Structure 1
Amino acid sequence: MAVSMRDFLLTDSDFSKVRALIYQRAGIALGEQKREMVYSRLSRRLRELGMSDFTSYLALLEAQKDSAEWQAFTNALTTNLTAFFREAHHFPLLAEHVRHNTTPVTVWCSAASTGEEPYSIAMTLIEALGSRAGSASVVATDIDTQVLEKAASGIYTMEQVSKLPLERLKRFFLKGSGARAGQVRIRPEVAAMVKFHQLNLLETHWGLKEPFDAIFCRNVMIYFDKPTQNKILQRFAPLVKPQGLLFAGHSENFSYASQPFRLRGQTVYQLNESHVRHGKGNT
């Protein structure tokens, strides 16, 4: 779209400032090619706030460091692409890893988005653990508060679950009727296993104390630069049980840096035996 037809002008200076602010706030490294995306998503914020230009909007953010608009800014620039049992090869590996556990199983999904991934994890735990699944739990976090609200509702369209086997659909979902026709809801026993809350991976303290059997951090690291990735990996290690697993996205590779995880399979890493857990509760 030509600049003359746009509602607002996104100057080079404005775009540079957007990139700097989202990196500082969320660790997201936006490339030059994201200019159109930035314009499209933030222009909606300008319209909602009745503002006339990006410069004023960015000045508002910088002037009010604790403003609720920071969350809206972050939500706008966060990409959420997900599906039930996406990257399906990970879930049988998780099932095998926890199947013979004698202690309660806990898994952290660090980019929960609209809920499909943590609910897929919960379903996998139910299938793998049987009667012991009642003591299992999934901690589901995301930086975006809007998608977490959607996730917590547990309501999806039939299209969103259309690729699930009929057996899973019947076992784990309730079919809507009346005003909810064409929708499904996660069954209460599945929803009860998943606890959602907002978390920014760049925060100094995550407030997580559990040693997890596995951490899912899939298709998140691609938005961070290498130093940020390495820092997060180092912080994951104390939160993983011995031999615990770390699941990455299909386009992510953590083998570039010296870190406590070793590659076990396709985008699956395992905590090194030589790594000693430390710093409990401070992560």
Structure 2
Amino acid sequence: MNHAIAKTLPAREAAGPEAAESSWVDTHDRLRPRDFQRLGEFIHGYSGIKVPPSKSTMIEGRLRKRVRALGMHSLADYCDYLFDQDGLAAEEIHLIDVVTTNKTEFFREPEHFRILADDVLPRIASERRIGPRAPVKIWSAASSTGAEAYTIAMVLAEQRRHIPELAGVVYATDICTDVLGTARGGIFPAEMMTPVPPEIRSRYVMRAKDRTSSLVRIVPELRAMVQFGRLNLMDTSYPMDRDLDIVFCRNVLIYFDKPTQLAVLRRLCDHLRPGGWLFLGHSETLSGFDLPVRAATTAVFRRS
């Protein structure tokens, strides 16, 4: 442990994680109004996520995980550590991890994956040279535990059965480090595979040798197609190629205010090659934004 950090923490944290986990946390403890305001300003500035007062109970519940992990006794202790004892630099990633929402599922909004398979990928194959040295590049820009990224990889692998030259790579990023760890392992509860068509499931999902296990794993060849990394969409620039064929950024913009949405969308468009495709969530819109894309179908856009 960094000794400078240890000096600012209670004795339980300095003693080790076992002592920290044994600390008692009052589940009726509440954030002070000033602390909620400071947390909201930091979370919005760092991640773009809005934290209205209606979310206070949810935020309190999630922050208690960090109170417990650090061996503290109250949300007030935790906020004092963040804002008055210079703990924010050491804690910011953990804070963002616990407050971000990571809802995801395989083949979520399935029409998008039908469009990807039947229209977008065949068009890319016909419009430009593709192959192992010129793969189709797809970015899942808020990948959570990897369900979207692995779904994209399944669609790519399936289409390659019909278009052999269709090599592809999926870049998958998220702001939350915890979910990226899960995503890299490719291990999921078996019930998460319910939306996956049986024939696809049989090719790309492995059951455990222990038949009583409730876990399954994505096959190695599919895991090899996906590259996971941490990325904050609020950063002013992204370390991504600028000739991407497809960007998925679905059900993320709804957490941002309008100026943040526009800034993020402009940066995403900058990474699309001319003719590249942008997929948004069905509840998201580009209405009122001046962007270099045009609508192709519901929540799917193409760069001019």
Q: How high is the TM-score relative to the length of structure 1?
A: 0.89
2:97 aligned with 1:75: yes
Contact residue 111 and residue 218 of structure 1 kept, 8 A: yes
Contact residue 237 and residue 267 of structure 2 kept, 8 A: no
* Matching residue of 2:114: 92
Determine which of 52, 57, 62 is the counterpart of 1:41: 62
Q: Distance in 2 between matches of 1:269 and 1:59?
A: 45
* Matching residue of 2:3: none
Determine which of 40, 56, 59 is the counterpart of 1:19: 40
Contact residue 155 and residue 183 of structure 1 kept, 8 A: yes
- The worse-fitting range, judged by mean Cα deviation, of 85-94 and 99-108 is 99-108
* Matching residue of 1:258: 290
1:207 Cα offset (Å): 1.0
In the alignment, structure 1 segments of 5+ residues that lack a partner are 273-283
Secondary structure of residue in 2 paired with 1:204: coil
Q: How high is the sequence identity, in percent, across the aligned residues?
A: 38
Determine which of 161, 165, 168 is the counterpart of 1:132: 165
Determine which of 165, 169, 188 is the counterpart of 2:197: 165
Secondary structure of residue in 1 paired with 2:282: coil
The code of the aligned residue for 1:36 comes to T
The code of the aligned residue for 2:120 comes to H
1:6 Cα offset (Å): 4.0
Q: Distance in 1 between matches of 2:241 and 2:196?
A: 33
* Matching residue of 1:280: none
Question: Pairwise CA RMSD of aligned residues?
Answer: 1.7
2:89 aligned with 1:66: yes
Contact residue 255 and residue 263 of structure 1 kept, 8 A: no
Q: Distance in 1 between matches of 2:299 and 2:121?
A: 18
* Matching residue of 2:240: 208
In the alignment, structure 2 segments of 5+ residues that lack a partner are 1-25
Contact residue 154 and residue 222 of structure 2 kept, 8 A: yes
2:210 aligned with 1:189: no
The code of the aligned residue for 2:165 comes to R
The code of the aligned residue for 2:82 comes to L
1:99 Cα offset (Å): 1.9
The 5-angstrom pairing of residues 232-247 of structure 1 reads 232-247=264-279
1:24 Cα offset (Å): 1.2
Secondary structure of residue in 2 paired with 1:245: strand
1:124-152: per-residue Cα shift (whole Å, max 9, x none)? 1112233334x310000000000110011
Aligned residues: 266
* Poorly superposed stretches of 4+, deviation over 3 Å: none
Contact residue 107 and residue 195 of structure 2 kept, 8 A: no
2:149 aligned with 1:118: yes
1:256 Cα offset (Å): 2.0
The 5-angstrom pairing of residues 224-235 of structure 1 reads 224-235=256-267
Q: Distance in 1 between matches of 2:110 and 2:37?
A: 38
- The worse-fitting range, judged by mean Cα deviation, of 46-55 and 29-38 is 46-55
1:192-236: per-residue Cα shift (whole Å, max 9, x none)? 100001110112332112411110000111111110110011111
1:45-85: per-residue Cα shift (whole Å, max 9, x none)? 11221223333322322314431x21110011100111111
Secondary structure of residue in 1 paired with 2:192: coil
Secondary structure of residue in 2 paired with 1:111: coil
Q: Distance in 2 between matches of 1:6 and 1:112?
A: 31
The code of the aligned residue for 2:146 comes to G
1:179 Cα offset (Å): 7.8
Determine which of 109, 113, 130 is the counterpart of 2:140: 109
1:251-271: per-residue Cα shift (whole Å, max 9, x none)? 111122112222221111111
| Higher-Rg member (1/2) | 2
2:221 aligned with 1:198: no
Q: Distance in 2 between matches of 1:206 and 1:180?
A: 43
Residues 1:25 and 1:181: Cα distance change in structure 2 (over 3 Å): same
Determine which of 267, 281, 296 is the counterpart of 1:249: 281
Q: How high is the TM-score relative to the length of structure 2?
A: 0.83
1:176-202: per-residue Cα shift (whole Å, max 9, x none)? 122873321111111110000111011
